[in-house]
Amino acid sequence: MVLMHTPERDEGFQAPDFTLKNIDGTMVSLKDVMGENGLVVMFICNHCPYVKAITDRIAKTAQALQEEGVGVVAIMSNDTQNYPQDSYENMKIFAKDSKFTFPYLIDKTQQVARAYGAVCTPDFFGFDGDGILHYRGRLDDAANKAANEDTVPELLEAMRAVKQIGSVSGVQHPSMGCSIKWKE
C-alpha cells in the first residue's frame, strides 16, 4: 500500500525524545544522535521497495550531512512478527549491505513512530540543533526512480538551509512509500 504523509509542519514541533536499541546492541537516545547543526530522523524498514530503491542515496546523503555536523538516525517501527523480513537480525544485514554510517534503531513498541507522526517508509524529519522541526518531506525529487544529474536533493538542501540560515523556504513535498506496519 502506497501512502504519503500530510506535508504539515506544526510550528515549533519539538523532536520527541527516545531511547531505542541500535543494531550494535547499544541503547541510543535523541541526545546521542543530535548534531550541532541539527538532526535527520528517518523512518525506514528493510523490505519496503521504496526504501530499497533509494538506500544508496540515503547512505550518501547521510554521510554528507554527518560531515556537516548534522546527526542522522534511522528508526524501524514495523510489526516484525507479521513482517519478519524487518526483524532486528535482518536490520543488521540491511544496514551493513546499505553501508549505513548512522544508527539504525528498532522501535518495538511503535511509540516513537506514533510520537513523530510517521506514516510511511521512508518518512524524513529534519530538525535544527534545538530539536525544532523544519523539514518534513522526501529525500529527493527522483522518489523511487533512479536519480540523475537533474535530481534535486531536497533533504540535503533543506538541512543545509537549516544549518546556514535556520529555516527552510519553499514547498516541501511529502515522502511516498509503504505504510508503517502497525501491530494490532
Q: Which domains does the chain have, with CATH numbers?
A: 2-179 (3.40.30.10)
Peptide bond into 122 cis (omega under 30): yes
Sign of CA dihedral 46, 115, 27, 38: positive
Residue 106 is given by DSSP the state E
Angle between helices 154-165 and 49-67 (to 10 degrees): 30
**6-15, 72-81, 128-137: least confidently modelled range:** 6-15
Kindly calculate the radius of gyration of the chain based on its CA atoms and give it in whole angstroms: 15
Q: In the predicted model, what is the mean pLDDT of residues 34-51?
A: 97
Structure-block grid coordinates of residue 149? 544529474
Task: Name the grid cell of 96.
Answer: 551493513
Q: What are phi and psi of 104, to 5 degrees?
A: -125, 110
Average pLDDT, stretch 160-176?
A: 91
Which pLDDT does position 169 carry in this prediction? Answer: 87
pLDDT of the residue at 6: 47
- Residue 25: left if φ>0, alpha if ψ -120 to 50, beta else—which one? left
Q: Is a pLDDT exceeding 80 seen at residue 2?
A: no
Q: Specify the pTM.
A: 0.94
Half-sphere exposure of 69 (CA within 13 A, CB side): 10
Residue 163 CB contacts under 8 Å (≥ 6 apart), including other chains: 37, 38, 68, 69, 70
Confidence of residue 182 (pLDDT cuts 50, 70, 90): very high
Confidence of residue 53 (pLDDT cuts 50, 70, 90): very high
Instruction: Name beta bridge partners: 76.
Output: 106
| Burial (0-12, 13-18, 19+ Cβ within 10 Å), 117 | middle
- 3 state DSSP class of 42: strand
Q: What is the mean pLDDT of the chain?
A: 93
